[in-house]
């Protein structure tokens, strides 16, 4: 009989489910394999890395329609070794979450077929971590951009301001949905492109919430979620916080200008314990 590990909620301390337990040997073997893969990648010449990544990108492109008819808006190399960023065109919340999961599974299978492996672990090594920046906008029943108001200096309507204010008010509690694992919190390092300050700003990448676009393209980017996020839980938390902000008629604080990393703002939790004890 396969041994099982109980999964305990950090909030209720009650059992959520049970998962098969790996033996100590299997766990060590998996970690060793991942470490060897990363070490071998570091030894690959930059030109060869680029060739491998182009081949991988080509395979993704060829298989993407079969996977989920995903619309890729952009893809580019990122700071860490072998790290890539891919951005998909916006959809409704549920479709976006579905596509997120399908892409993760599909890309892993494509990589495996090429004798490679990839990870969405939030902080794989000491360098830049893997994020999952979620862009969100609110539409009316006729697809009108109800968050936008051209007369406002920031382009935000009263509804939009309250929606974002709700994100800030409930962000510490919501971090459990954005950073579900112990490793997730190692990503929040000053100056690392991961946020540490619970502030919002206009196109300010040092803040947890970044407002971009205008009119129909107006949306905010939540930079807190890591690559290990469950998209269904993260999106549900963001929508719930926004609705709460509207219902409570919350006032949005002024946009932060400058480097939020060195501000005295409330900080993003640094461990899994902090948000679970809020």
Beta bridge partners of 68: none
pLDDT at residue 7 above 60?
no
Distance, CA of 226 to CA of 9 (rounded, Å): 19
Distance (Å, whole) CA 33 – CA 166: 43
Q: Are residues 229 and 248 in the same domain?
A: yes
**Which carries the bigger pLDDT value, residue 35 or residue 144?**
144
Report yes or no on 214 lying in a domain: yes
One domain, residues 140 and 255: yes
- Is the pLDDT at 141 greater than 80? The verdict is yes
- % residues pLDDT > 70 (the chain): 77
| pLDDT tens digits along 79-130 | 788 888 889 899 999 999 998 998 898 888 888 887 888 899 999 888 889 9
Instruction: State the pTM of this model.
Output: 0.75
Q: Containing domain of residue 2, as a range?
A: 1-42
**30-39, 78-87, 149-158, 177-186: the lowest-pLDDT one:** 30-39
The more confidently predicted of residues 276 and 72 is: 72
| Pair (138, 272) in one structural domain | yes
Tokens representing residue 135 in the block: 């862009």
In a domain, 127, yes or no: no
251 or 71, higher pLDDT? 251
Q: Is residue 13 part of a domain?
A: yes
Please give the pLDDT value at position 169.
Answer: 96
Statement to judge: residues 137 and 253 lie in one domain: yes
Q: Write the DSSP symbol of residue 86.
A: E
Residue 125 domain-assigned (yes or no): no
Distance, CA of 115 to CA of 136 (rounded, Å): 36
165 and 250 fall within a common domain:
yes
Q: Are residues 136 and 178 in the same domain?
A: yes
Residue 123 in domain = no
126 belongs to a structural domain: no
DSSP three-state, residue 155 = coil
Domain assignment present for residue 110? The answer is: yes
DSSP element (H, E) containing 19: strand 15-20
Q: How many domains does the chain have?
A: 3
CATH number at residue 172: 3.30.590.10
| Residues 111 and 145 reside in one and the same domain | no
Last residue of a domain, one of 118, 153, 174: 118
**Domain co-membership, 113 together with 196:** no
Q: Does 157 fall in a domain? A: yes
Tens-place pLDDT, residues 146-170: 999 999 999 999 999 999 999 999 9
Asked whether residue 196 falls in the same domain as residue 277, the answer is yes
Q: What is the pLDDT of residue 96?
A: 92
Per-residue confidence (pLDDT) for residue 112, from 0 to 100: 84
DSSP secondary structure code for residue 202 in this structure: E
Are 10 and 145 contained in the same domain? Answer: no
Q: Tell me the average pLDDT of the chain.
A: 84
For residues 137 and 100, membership in a common domain is answered with: no
SS3 label, residue 167: helix
Residues 230-264 have pLDDT tens digits of 999 999 999 999 999 999 999 999 999 999 999 99
Which pLDDT band holds residue 32 (cuts at 50, 70, 90)? Answer: low
When pLDDT is averaged across residues 59-82 and rounded to a whole number, the result is 72
75, 108: one domain: yes
């Amino acid at each position: 009989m396969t041994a099982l590990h109980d999964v305990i909620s950090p909030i209720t301390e009650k059992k959520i489910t049970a998962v098969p337990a790996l033996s100590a040997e299997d766990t060590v073997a998996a970690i060793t394999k991942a470490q060897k893969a990363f070490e071998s990648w570091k030894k690959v010449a930059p030109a060869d890395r680029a060739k491998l990544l182009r081949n991988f990108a080509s395979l993704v492109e060829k298989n993407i329609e079969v996977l989920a008819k995903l619309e890729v808006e952009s893809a580019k190399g990122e700071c860490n070794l072998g790290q890539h960023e891919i951005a998909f065109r916006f959809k409704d919340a549920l479709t976006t979450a579905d596509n997120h999961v399908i892409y993760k599974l599909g890309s892993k299978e494509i990589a495996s077929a090429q004798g490679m492996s990839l990870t969405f672990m939030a902080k794989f090594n000491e360098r830049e971590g893997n994020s999952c920046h979620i862009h969100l906008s609110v539409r009316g029943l006729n697809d009108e951009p109800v968050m936008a108001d051209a007369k406002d200096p920031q382009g935000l309507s009263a509804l939009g301001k309250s929606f974002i204010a709700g994100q800030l008010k409930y962000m510490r509690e919501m971090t459990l949905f954005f950073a579900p694992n112990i490793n997730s919190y190692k990503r929040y390092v000053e100056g690392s492109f991961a946020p540490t300050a619970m502030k919002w700003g206009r196109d300010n990448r040092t803040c947890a919430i970044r407002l971009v676009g205008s009119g129909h393209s107006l949306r905010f980017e939540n930079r807190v979620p890591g690559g290990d996020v469950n998209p269904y839980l993260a999106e549900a938390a963001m929508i719930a916080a926004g609705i709460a902000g509207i219902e409570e008629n919350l006032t949005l604080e002024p946009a932060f200008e400058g480097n939020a990393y060195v501000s005295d703002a409330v900080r993003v939790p640094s461990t899994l314990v902090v948000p679970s004890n809020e």
